[in-house]
């Protein structure tokens, strides 16, 4: 049973076909990059998983169950979703920001905050700091800690490193890949950066005008297969 399956998923916005009959299966534990130019439909396809987008046609299943089978808030607890410039609440400490993720899950164990900081390689000492005292890369890591707080095994990264400088971006990407391996996550990384995809993913899907036009390992893509 694949972790994720898209069955002839189409999404239209008026006359625009953002996603055009995509069928796709993604294995548990894989790190998949979804690459393509702006407007190719990457975000729209990704958001059908957490129901920020409802398909016009087709079905999306997670572990064999249709995503519409349970209320969206329950579904979203099981899915870590991180986008560009993820918002931290500026008037709350780092610990309080992460605790929001825990409260959503009905857990308010404070020790868990320290554990989550460890997870994303941030020093526990920053727990009492305010977001504006952190670098952009550190803030994105707090966002990832918050997204994974409820124990999500599925991680969706939508241009999550996009606002960072190249060095911070590479370092964060490598960390997230290590985290993926350590926690046995299933991860989808949406990016327009092919180099990032080749570096981090096991499988690269290329999207163009709403369709998947290539599906290969990084090694095969580099070899031009
Ligand atoms: P990508 O993530 O690859 O940049 P998107 O999925 O954001 O692409 O967008 C795919 C297409 O659908 C684009 O033409 C975009 O303008 C359009 N689109 C996306 N979201 C909406 C929306 N909420 N309303 C109307 N059109 C949208
Ligand atoms: P991205 O390519 O990273 O998705 P965009 O700037 O294309 O970023 O989209 C940002 C947000 O606006 C997304 O939530 C997308 O669904 C929405 N959006 C994109 N295109 C349109 C559009 N033509 N009309 C309305 N909303 C749109």
Q: What is the pLDDT of residues 44-70, one digit of tens each?
A: 999 999 999 999 999 999 999 999 999
pLDDT for 43 equals 97
Quick one: CA dihedral 182, 188, 190, 191, positive or negative? positive
Q: What is the pLDDT of residues 166-208, one digit of tens each?
A: 888 888 889 899 999 998 999 999 999 999 999 999 999 999 9
ipTM above 0.90, yes or no: no
Encoded tokens for 41: 């439909």
Q: Answer with the residue of higher pLDDT: 65 or 99.
A: 65
Average pLDDT over residues 75-85: 89
Pocket test for ligand 1, best of 20, 34, 39 (most atoms within 8 A of CB): 39
pTM confidence score? 0.86
106 has pLDDT over 80: no
Q: Which ligand 1 atom is the nearest neighbour of the CA of 158?
A: 2
User: How far is the C-alpha of 175 from the C-alpha of 11, rounded, in Å?
Assistant: 33
Nearest residue (by CA) to ligand 1, atom 14, is 39
pLDDT for 103 equals 67
Nearest residue (by CA) to ligand 2, atom 1, is 43
Whole-number Cα distances in Å, 84 to 114, 152, 164, 189, 197: 24, 19, 9, 12, 16
pLDDT for 214 equals 96
User: How far is the C-alpha of 32 from the C-alpha of 27, rounded, in Å?
Assistant: 9
**Strand 65-66 and strand 57-62: pairing?**
antiparallel
pLDDT for 181 equals 94
pLDDT for 175 equals 87
135 has pLDDT over 60: yes
107 has pLDDT over 90: no
On whether the CB atoms of residues 35 and 205 are closer than 8 A, the answer is: yes
CA of 133 to the centre of ligand 1 (A): 34
Q: How sure is the predictor about 9, in pLDDT bands with cuts at 50, 70 and 90?
A: very high
105 has pLDDT over 90: no
End-to-end alpha carbon distance in the chain? 27
Look over the chain and give the mean of its residue pLDDT values, rounded to a whole number.
Answer: 91
């Amino acid at each position: 049973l694949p972790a994720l399956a898209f069955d002839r998923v189409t999404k239209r916005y008026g006359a625009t076909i953002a996603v055009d009959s995509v069928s796709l299966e993604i294995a548990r534990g894989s790190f998949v990059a979804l690459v393509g130019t702006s407007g190719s439909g990457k975000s729209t396809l990704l958001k059908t998983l957490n129901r920020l987008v409802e398909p016009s046609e087709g079905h999306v299943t997670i572990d064999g169950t249709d995503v519409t089978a349970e209320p969206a808030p329950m579904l979203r607890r099981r899915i870590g979703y991180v986008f560009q410039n993820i918002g931290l609440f500026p008037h709350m400490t780092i610990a309080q920001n992460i605790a929001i993720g825990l409260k959503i899950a009905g857990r308010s164990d404070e020790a868990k905050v320290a554990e989550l900081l460890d997870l994303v390689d941030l020093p526990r000492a920053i727990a009492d700091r305010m977001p504006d005292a952190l670098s952009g890369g550190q803030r994105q890591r707090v966002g990832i800690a918050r997204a994974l707080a409820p124990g999500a095994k599925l991680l969706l990264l939508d241009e999550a490193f996009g606002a960072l400088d190249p060095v911070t971006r590479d370092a964060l990407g490598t960390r997230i890949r290590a985290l993926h391996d350590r926690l046995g996550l299933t991860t989808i990384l949406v990016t327009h950066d092919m180099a990032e995809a080749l570096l981090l993913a096991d499988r690269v899907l290329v999207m163009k005008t709403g369709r998947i036009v290539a599906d290969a390992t990084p090694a095969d893509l580099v070899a031009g297969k």
